[in-house]
Chain A
Amino acid sequence: MPEEATIVQSDQLISADTANAVSILHLYKSFGNNHVLIDFNLAIKKGESVVVLGKSGSGKSVLIKCIIGLLKPDKGTIAVFGKNVSEIKEEELDKLRAKVGFLFQSNALYDSMTVRENLEFPLRRHWIKVSQVEVNKMVLEALDDVGLAHTVDMMPVELSGGMRKRIALARTLILKPEIILYDEPTTGLDPITGKEIIDLMNDIQEKYNTTSLIISHDMNCVRMTSDRVVILVEGKCYANDTWDRLQQNKDPKVKQFFE
Chain B
Amino acid sequence: MVLPAEIRSFLSEAGELSRFTGRFFSQAFRPRYELYEFTRQCYLIGYSSLPLIGLTSFIMGLVLTMQLRPSMVDYGVESELPSIVGIAIVREIGPVISALIFAGKIGSSIGAELGSMKVTEQIDAMEVSGTNPFKYLVVTRVFAATLMLPVLIILGDTISLYGSFLGVNIRGTTSSHLFWTQVIDSLAFSDVLPAFIKTYFFGFAVGIIGCYKGYNSSKGTEGVGRSANSAVVVASVMVFVIDLLAVQITDLLGLN
**Chain A interface (Cβ < 8 Å from any Cβ of B):** 65, 68, 70, 90, 94, 97-98, 100, 102, 104-112, 121-122, 125-127
Which of B10-18, B80-88, B114-122 participates in binding chain A?
B114-122
Asked whether, in the complex, the Cβ of B125 is within 8 Å of the Cβ of A102, the reply is: yes
With A105-B121, A108-B121, A125-B131 known, 17 other A-B pairs at CB within 8 A are A65-B124, A70-B128, A90-B132, A94-B130, A97-B128, A97-B129, A102-B128, A104-B124, A106-B119, A106-B120, A106-B121, A108-B120, A121-B126, A121-B129, A125-B130, A126-B129, A127-B130
A220 to B183, CA, bound (A): 76
Residue of B nearest to A121 (CB): B129
Give, as a whole number of angstroms, the nearest-CB distance from B86 to chain A. 40
Residue B127 is within 8 A (CB to CB) of chain A in the complex: yes
Residue of A nearest to B127 (CB): A70
A180 to B225, CA, bound (A): 33
Residue of A nearest to B40 (CB): A112
Residue of A nearest to B128 (CB): A102
Which of B113, B127, B129, B132 has most chain A Cβ within 10 Å? B129
- Which residues does chain B contribute within 8 Å of A65, judged by CB atoms? 124
Give, as a whole number of angstroms, the nearest-CB distance from A173 to chain B. 13
A65 to B128, CA, bound (A): 10
**Chain B interface (Cβ < 8 Å from any Cβ of A):** 113, 116-117, 119-122, 124-132
A122 to B128, CA, bound (A): 8
A206 to B126, CA, bound (A): 27
- Given A104-B125, A108-B125: A98 and B120 within 8 A (CB)? no
Give, as a whole number of angstroms, the nearest-CB distance from B78 to chain A. 52
- Which residues does chain B contribute within 8 Å of A122, judged by CB atoms? 129-130
Give, as a whole number of angstroms, the nearest-CB distance from B35 to chain A. 13
Which of B117, B122, B126 has most chain A Cβ within 10 Å? B122
A186 to B14, CA, bound (A): 40
Residue of A nearest to B116 (CB): A111
- Which residues does chain A contribute within 8 Å of B132, judged by CB atoms? 90
Asked whether, in the complex, the Cβ of A125 is within 8 Å of the Cβ of B129, the reply is: yes
**6 residue pairs, one from A and one from B, having the closest CB atoms:** A108-B125, A122-B129, A108-B121, A126-B130, A94-B130, A125-B130
Which of A98, A100, A102 has most chain B Cβ within 10 Å? A102
Give, as a whole number of angstroms, the nearest-CB distance from A169 to chain B. 13
Give, as a whole number of angstroms, the nearest-CB distance from B149 to chain A. 22
Give, as a whole number of angstroms, the nearest-CB distance from A180 to chain B. 12
Give, as a whole number of angstroms, the nearest-CB distance from A105 to chain B. 7
- Which residues does chain A contribute within 8 Å of B126, judged by CB atoms? 121, 125
Residue of B nearest to A100 (CB): B128
Residue of B nearest to A128 (CB): B130
Give, as a whole number of angstroms, the nearest-CB distance from B192 to chain A. 37
A112 to B126, CA, bound (A): 13
A69 to B132, CA, bound (A): 12
Residue of B nearest to A68 (CB): B128
Asked whether, in the complex, the Cβ of A70 is within 8 Å of the Cβ of B130, the reply is: no
Residue of A nearest to B129 (CB): A122
Complex A-B: 6 CB contacts under 8 Å: A97-B128, A97-B130, A102-B125, A108-B120, A108-B124, A125-B131
